[in-house]
Amino acid sequence: MKNLLLPFLLTAFLFSGLNAQNNSSLDPLTTIEFETTTIDYGEIAKGSDGVRTFTFKNTGNNPLKIYKVYSSCSCDILSKPEDPINPGENGEIKVKYDTNKVGPIVKTITVYVNIEKKLVPLRLKGIVLKSS
């Protein structure tokens, strides 16, 4: 029993130390408000311009930091703020969907940010039509 307890306690101690270190380096929390969290392409032709912009505002009292914008789809993240967004200021995240892929658009982009929920899901929807 002693032989099993010691490795467990060491592992628990190690992970609690790593977790405490990560939490202590977090930035102060703030709030964010997007104009919209869903961009609807509607029905668009194959090869159309797939660039769209999500606009947001820091509605909190601390600087807003965008740590990472992640897309698991065929979307490119063209730009995101690299510097903190001060309270009351706006920012943009530009994305590009590959409109050479015919069919429905149902994609999610995840924004990792210093807010209470830690992430914001953004959605793209619509349909790319075949060329006539």
Quickly list DSSP for 9-65. Answer: HHHHHHHHHHHHHHHHTPPPPB-EEES-SEEEEEEEETT---EEEEEEEE-SSS-B-
CA atoms of 74 and 82, how far apart (whole Å): 22
User: Do residues 99 and 112 lie in contact, with contact meaning Cβ atoms separated by under 8 Å?
Assistant: no
- Residue 86, both tokens: 């001060």
- Residue 116, both tokens: 């209470």
Lowest mean pLDDT among 25-29, 52-56, 122-126, 127-131: 25-29
Q: What is the pLDDT of residue 18?
A: 40
Sheet with strand 66-71: strands edge to edge = 38-45, 119-129, 103-113, 66-71
**pLDDT digits 0-9 by tens, 83-108:** 999 999 999 999 999 999 999 999 99
Instruction: Enumerate residues 6+ apart whose C-beta is below 8 A from 23.
Output: none
**pLDDT digits 0-9 by tens, 8-51:** 544 454 444 444 333 334 689 999 999 999 999 999 999 999 99
Write down the pTM of the prediction: 0.78
User: Do residues 66 and 89 lie in contact, with contact meaning Cβ atoms separated by under 8 Å?
Assistant: no
What average pLDDT does this structure show over 59-76?
Answer: 91
Which residue did the predictor score with more confidence, 3 or 17? 3
